[in-house]
Amino acid sequence: MEASLGARCWELARVFTWLGLTSFGGPAAHVALMERELVERRRWLDREELLDLIGLTQLIPGPNSTELAIAIGQRRAGLPGLLIAGACFILPAALLVGALAHGYLRFRGLPQLDGPFRLLKPAVVAVIGDAMLRLIPTAARQPRLAAIFGVAAALALLDVPELLVVVLGGITALGTFRGVASFAPLPLLSAAVASPPSIAGIFGYFFQVGAVLYGSGYVLLAYLRSGLVEARGWLTEAQLLDAIAVGQFTPGPVFTTATFIGYLIGGPGGAAAATLGIFAPAFLLIAVAGMLLRRLLLRPWFRPFLDGVNAASLGVLLAVVLRLGATSLGGLLPALVGLASFAVLWRWQVNSAWVMAAAAALGLLAG
């Protein structure tokens, strides 16, 4: 017997609050954590359904892992689930980043956190690698899909834009170019404004960013540098780099960088406006795309296209794993932590949050 809507919403709130508090490592790690928690442990959806939602988030702008959380919430409990899952995944990180922004202004800088995060990174790589190995048999279950997966990983390593890679994967699987639209992001609409920012202005700017931005945190850095440092003069270059660093080393969505920036330029009100602005398009887009997905899956041409998108999306994630591994596993101790973390996850399937917590504690002890 299926649980009531209220029970499902409460369960979504608990699970995604926990994920928001423990999901270190960026979008690829978030996807891995959701696979382990929601597919392996709770069986809310199977791997093919998860891959469908991953493919969907790759095709629309915005923060992919946050959109995945929102889409899973919608799948689990409709519109209330959509709102609850997204809010609970975002809020823990946003509150933490806001507190760090307050400390940043008060103490004029960020504390040194290199110790814990030096060994957290290889554990995160192990978490992503474990999830990758579990998803590959589903995503690359046919020779053509396996080839798309491999080629997509190679293209991503060559810095081909992620959106182009996943769309080409879908086209290749479909075997035709019919009905393919241009997914190029629109330029930001607002003109450069050198005047002091208002709360409405902060919300409007970050809403535009959330509505058109494709790609990783590095793409976010480029957008924000152009809009906030060069065009508007709301931030300095050093402040922007510190904001990006905070978004990278705190749990939850990397886009909570916006919370930090909003606090710097507008205090608590600016932090709230920036956070609402950058994440609001994700809720709106998933609300529409989630409904369309069910209808599109009834079309005979869409299933092969989405299978190609899924295989290519996983190829992009493989490229992320390889790059993270190259930068995080250097040295004997990080390599041992990464290998040990992977072995524990693969053999005993423990909650990955405990593996990452152990790695961070060891990093703190090791200095």
pLDDT digits (tens, 9 = 90+) for 157-191: 898 877 788 889 888 988 743 443 333 333 444 44
Residue 360 tokens, joined: 């961070």
Range with the poorest average pLDDT among 1-10, 96-105, 274-283? 1-10
Q: What is the pLDDT of residues 131-165, one digit of tens each?
A: 788 888 888 888 889 999 999 999 988 988 777 88
- The reported pLDDT for the residue numbered 339 is 93
Residue among 365, 267, 360, 356 at smallest CA distance from 32:
356
The helix or strand, by DSSP H or E, that contains position 316, with its residue range, turns out to be: helix 302-328
Percent of the chain at pLDDT > 90 equals 32
Going by the DSSP 8-state scheme, the letter that residue 367 receives in this structure is -
- The reported pLDDT for the residue numbered 112 is 58
What confidence tier does 328 reach under pLDDT thresholds 50, 70, 90?
confident
The pTM assigned to this predicted structure is 0.75
Looking at 158-224, list the stretches that DSSP marks H as alpha helix, in order from N- to C-terminal side.
162-174, 199-212, 217-224
What confidence tier does 194 reach under pLDDT thresholds 50, 70, 90?
low
- The reported pLDDT for the residue numbered 103 is 86
The helix or strand, by DSSP H or E, that contains position 229, with its residue range, turns out to be: none
Q: Return d(Cα 149, Cα 167) in angstroms, integer.
A: 12
Going by the DSSP 8-state scheme, the letter that residue 228 receives in this structure is I
Q: What is the pLDDT of residues 19-45, one digit of tens each?
A: 999 887 778 788 888 998 999 889 999
Q: Return d(Cα 232, Cα 235) in angstroms, integer.
A: 8
Identity of residue 260? F
